[in-house]
Amino acid sequence: MKVSKKDIKQRMARFEEVSRKSGAKLTHQRLEIFREVAQTVEHPDVEKVFEGVRRRMPTISMDTVYRTLWWLKSLGLITVLGPSRERVRFDANLSNHHHFVCTRCGLTRDFFSDELDSLTLPDSVLSIGLAKKTQVEVKGICLKCAADGKPGARKNERR
Amino acid sequence: MKVSKKDIKQRMARFEEVSRKSGAKLTHQRLEIFREVAQTVEHPDVEKVFEGVRRRMPTISMDTVYRTLWWLKSLGLITVLGPSRERVRFDANLSNHHHFVCTRCGLTRDFFSDELDSLTLPDSVLSIGLAKKTQVEVKGICLKCAADGKPGARKNERR
DNA sequence: TTAGGTGCAAATTCTTTGCACCCTG
DNA sequence: CAGGGTGCAAAGAATTTGCACCTAA
């Protein structure tokens, strides 16, 4: 499965627009790094992006890839899978439950719902693999952060 | 919000049972490390577990905490939040979608479902925070891994 | 021209490992 | 008492940072 030519074009166009609006420079490196993520459904990690870009641009450096990916994220041009930049966390609650994650402070709380425990997945999942466990992840702002006020650099906040 | 005395007791009992059955030794360290995770709803990271245990057991070392947590996971006594031990992955698909993650090889694929896009969350979420985005995460075995055969040490497989 | 961006190398931070000693069973 | 488990220190990975040079606007 690949991203269609049309979608790639659309994503590249949005990239140019957003990135110009932000006042940043449109460098070759940034263009190629974004293209690398935009043209695949594989959800590459930093290393994969680096390898892919290096094929076209042999002098690219790892730190530029890191910097650029977080910059793309800060512009909302890409998202990050999983607890981005968070440490691994452990959970001794083995019963069915779902997670609320505060995107500001990283707080993670369980919540429960019989309804969410028994979701029906679309047939398209069958062509990917055999589902074992389904969990809902809610991202939002916890009450404490909401009370504390506006966004901004804060302990644990992810770029 | 805390874990009830009753639940903690239950978890500790299960810990003893499973861990004995596995043939491993029940050391003070293991007991205290498991207790640290079992007694909280905070989903602590390695550092937090270490700090907590160190209060009661000042000579505990970080590497024992690491080793023990992965050991607890391998026994199924605790679970790990997010893509455990995986690198951060990036995604240029900004439209609503959900994820299927293969627990064996780490493959991650998007899938789509209008129904899942508009889930109703239980009221209990209101007491945690303001939900911004809800995403379903399905864990399972991808077709390729299922065809390849049995579980076992394999590239990217998580302990 | 010039401020922001890049590459390099070094620094940090996080996690794992080798090994001698210790303690559970 | 034997063998697995622990702590220490050192190694390894992954990621970030300081700085001089480069380049898009």
Calculate the average pLDDT of chain A: 90
- A133 pLDDT higher than 80: yes
Q: How far is CA B17 from CA A93, A95, B75, B103, in A?
A: 17, 18, 11, 26
The DSSP secondary-structure symbol of B59 reads T
Question: Which band of pLDDT confidence, cut at 50, 70 and 90, is reported for residue A105?
Answer: confident
* Cβ–Cβ under 8 Å, residues A147 and A102: no
Tell me how far apart the alpha carbons of residues A38 and A15 are, in angstroms, rounded to a whole number: 10
CATH topology of domain A5-74: Arc Repressor Mutant, subunit A (1.10.10)
Q: What is the pLDDT of residue B82?
A: 67
Q: What is residue A122's predicted lDDT score, i.e. its pLDDT? A: 97
Q: Which residue is nearest to nucleotide D8 (CA to C1')?
A: B61
Cα gap A44→A41, rounded to integer Å: 8
As ranges, strand D nucleotides with an atom below 7 A of a protein CB are 3-10, 14-18, 23-25
This prediction's pTM? 0.88
pLDDT value of position A125: 97
**In contact, A15 and A34? CB cutoff 8 Å:** yes
- CB contact under 8 Å between A91 and B79, yes or no, is yes
pLDDT per residue over B31-74, tens digit each? 999 999 999 999 999 999 999 999 999 999 999 999 999 999 99
A99 alpha carbon, distance to own chain's centre: 17
Q: Among A83-97, A115-129, B1-15, B122-136, where is mean pLDDT lowest?
A: A83-97
Assess whether B61 (CB) lies less than 7 A from strand D: yes
Question: What's the angle, vertex CA A100, arms to CA A94 and CA B42, rounded to 5?
Answer: 60
- Paired sense of beta strands B129-142 and B98-102, if any: parallel
Strand C neighbours (CB under 7 Å) are A 24-25, 27, 29-30, 57, 59-61, 63-64, 67-68, 87-88; B 20, 25-28, 46-47, 62-63, 66-67, 70, 85
- Which value, in Å, is the radius of gyration of the alpha carbons in chain B? 19
Distance, CA of A96 to CA of B12 (rounded, Å): 19
Task: Name chain A contacts of B6, Cβ cutoff 8 Å.
Answer: none
pLDDT score of B100: 94
Fold of B98-148: Dna Ligase; domain 1 (3.30.1490)
pLDDT for A11-64, tens place per residue?
Answer: 999 999 999 999 999 999 999 999 999 999 999 999 999 999 999 999 999 999
Residue contact B129–A135, C-beta within 8 A: no
Q: Where are the domains of chain B?
A: 5-74, 98-148
Taking only the tens place, the pLDDT of each residue in B95-140 is 999 999 998 888 899 999 999 999 999 999 999 999 999 999 999 9
> What pLDDT sits at residue A106?
84
